[in-house]
């Protein structure tokens, strides 16, 4: 349906679809029944395949050891990875283009390269107890320069994958000096003295990746661990947000495709009142709405990726990433709800793919900016730059 599809993107789509179908999907129910965990040899197998495919460096240039794929090709991959539940697609760490552009030589050697070859894993510590949606205004974690060290103090909430990670990207405000209160982004090794695990709350989904709370007590790190300069941390966070928001939208499209496929197969087999339920209009209407919503969302996702690849103004792109994150996450949640309904009682069983997506997709309307925050970003972009900039 999409006129901009390319042979290269189709090739990636096919390759990743096979990986997801043959290797990841068969382990979903095991993960669900075992707190998200897989046998160690299977976990290693998945990671090795992902690394051999080059997935940790999708958007990193070939000169730096990546695949050099454009955003459209990367999102074709993430869309396929979204077709598996229980976060089994998070079997590799992803280095992003903003890291390649902004890391100093020390950081490239000690963090970018290990991300690419799978020997180190990252996590992001931005949110705090009092700073969720209002990242910019309310962060209280501080970084104080002392000689050639920064001293970090604060508490970070919901640090996804920190239990499996080797280092944090941590956002803090500079404590004193000419950049006082300005945001900066730091890399902190997880084994640094003063890092305290406070709590590992349970969440709706069943993932091996936890979302724990950490306290940083006078954590001393070398000043070469600041990314770029003091005061521009929010720029990197915005780059990361844009990438993640597209990634969430792509995974939501993949999830929606899987849900429609599975619900259709079931509807064609299941009999009630002497007929297949697929022959009842109530079921047909639900499936038809799902198809339409997925098809239109995917088109918008692909067009926004293309806008990204043609270097559209970053402020306009920021608004567009909010548009697609909002649309795709709400679309996928609606489709999961309908899929549970089509499966009937089976759709409420944890063994069932619709039940798992019903829980798992809910957070896509919350993390990387809530749906309300994305509506605010879109409205602000509309007021500042006009409707044309957002829809053309």
Ligand X SMILES: Cc1cc2nc3c(=O)[nH]c(=O)nc-3n(C[C@H](O)[C@H](O)[C@H](O)COP(=O)(O)OP(=O)(O)OC[C@H]3O[C@@H](n4cnc5c(N)ncnc54)[C@H](O)[C@@H]3O)c2cc1C
Tell me the catalytic residues: 368
CB under 6 A: which stretch of 15-23, 80-88, 184-192, 368-376 binds ligand X? 368-376
Distances 7 to 10, 82, 203 between C-alpha atoms, Å: 5, 21, 40
Q: CB 197 → ligand X: shortest distance, Å?
A: 15
Is residue 206 a contact residue for ligand X (CB under 6 A)?
no
Candidates 17, 367, 382, 390: give the one binding ligand X (CB under 6 A).
367
Crossing angle for the helix pair 353-360 and 314-343, to the nearest 10 degrees: 140
CB under 6 A: which stretch of 157-165, 306-314, 316-324, 382-390 binds ligand X? 157-165
Concatenate the DSSP letters of all residues of 266-330 into one string: HHHH-EETTEEGGGSHHHHHHHHHHHHHHHHHHHHHHHHHHHHHTT--HHHHHHHHHHHHHHHHH
Candidates 126, 152, 185, 324: give the one binding ligand X (CB under 6 A).
126
Q: CB 31 → ligand X: shortest distance, Å?
A: 16
Question: What is the footprint of ligand X within residues 207-236 (CB under 6 A)?
Answer: 211
Q: CB 185 → ligand X: shortest distance, Å?
A: 12
Is residue 36 a contact residue for ligand X (CB under 6 A)?
no
CB under 6 A: which stretch of 39-47, 274-282, 284-292, 362-370 binds ligand X? 362-370
Instruction: Supply φ then ψ for residue 176, to 5 degrees.
Output: -150, 175
Nearer to ligand X, 175 or 211 (CB): 211
How many Cβ atoms are within 10 Å of 148's Cβ, its own excluded? 8
Candidates 176, 261, 372, 391: give the one binding ligand X (CB under 6 A).
372
Task: Say how far apart CA 126 and CA 172 lie, in whole Å.
Answer: 8
CA dihedral 228, 233, 238, 243 (to 10 degrees): 50
Helices (H), strands (E): how many in the chain?
14, 9
Q: CB 98 → ligand X: shortest distance, Å?
A: 16
CA 351 to chain centre: 24
Is residue 163 a contact residue for ligand X (CB under 6 A)?
no
Nearer to ligand X, 55 or 131 (CB): 131
Bridge partners for 122 per DSSP: 167
Is residue 127 a contact residue for ligand X (CB under 6 A)?
yes
| CA R_g for the chain | 22
Reduce the DSSP state of residue 262 to 3 states and report it: helix
Nearer to ligand X, 108 or 359 (CB): 359
Nearer to ligand X, 211 or 243 (CB): 211
Nearer to ligand X, 131 or 277 (CB): 131
Q: CB 129 → ligand X: shortest distance, Å?
A: 8
Candidates 28, 163, 203, 262: give the one binding ligand X (CB under 6 A).
203
Going by C-alpha positions, the residue among 194, 217, 219, 202 that lies closest to residue 158 is 202
Chain residues in the site for ligand X (CB under 6 A): 124-127, 132-133, 158-160, 203, 211, 363, 366-367, 369-370, 372-373, 376
């Amino acid at each position: 349906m999409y006129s901009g599809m390319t042979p290269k993107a189709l090739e990636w789509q096919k390759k990743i679809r096979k990986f997801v179908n043959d290797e990841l999907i068969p382990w979903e129910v095991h993960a669900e029944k075992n707190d998200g965990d897989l046998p160690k040899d299977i976990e290693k197998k998945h990671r090795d395949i992902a690394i051999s495919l080059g997935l940790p460096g999708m958007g990193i240039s070939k000169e730096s050891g990546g695949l050099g794929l454009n955003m459209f090709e990367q999102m074709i991959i993430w869309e396929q990875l979204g077709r598996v539940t229980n976060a089994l697609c998070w079997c590799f760490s992803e280095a992003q283009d903003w890291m390649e552009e902004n890391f100093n030589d020390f950081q490239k050697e000690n963090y970018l390269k290990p991300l690419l070859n799978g020997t180190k894993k990252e996590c992001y510590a931005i949110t705090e107890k009092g700073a969720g949606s209002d990242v910019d205004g309310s962060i209280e974690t501080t970084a104080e320069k002392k000689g050639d060290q920064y001293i970090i103090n604060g508490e970070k909430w919901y640090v996804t994958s920190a239990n499996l990670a080797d280092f944090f990207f941590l956002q803090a405000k500079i404590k004193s000096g000419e950049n006082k209160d300005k945001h900066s982004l730091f890399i902190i090794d997880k084994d640094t003295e003063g890092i305290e695990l406070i709590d590992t709350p349970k969440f709706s989904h069943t993932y091996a990746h936890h979302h724990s709370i950490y306290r940083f007590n006078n954590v001393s790190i070398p000043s070469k661990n600041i990314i770029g300069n003091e005061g521009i941390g929010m720029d990197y966070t915005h780059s990361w947000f844009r990438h993640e928001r597209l990634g969430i939208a792509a995974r939501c499209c993949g999830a929606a495709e899987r849900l429609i496929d599975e619900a259709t197969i079931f509807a064609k087999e299941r009999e009630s009142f002497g007929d297949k339920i697929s022959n009842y209009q109530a079921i047909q209407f639900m499936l038809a709405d799902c198809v339409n919503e997925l098809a239109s969302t995917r088109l918008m996702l692909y067009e926004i990726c293309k806008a990204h690849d043609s270097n559209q103004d970053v402020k306009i792109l920021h608004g567009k990433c909010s548009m697609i994150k909002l649309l795709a996450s709400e679309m996928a949640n609606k489709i999961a709800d309908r899929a549970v309904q089509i499966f009937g009682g089976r759709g409420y069983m944890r063994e069932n793919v619709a039940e798992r997506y019903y829980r798992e997709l809910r957070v896509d309307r919350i993390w990387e900016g809530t749906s309300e925050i994305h509506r605010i970003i879109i409205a602000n972009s509309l007021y500042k730059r006009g409707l044309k900039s957002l829809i053309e």
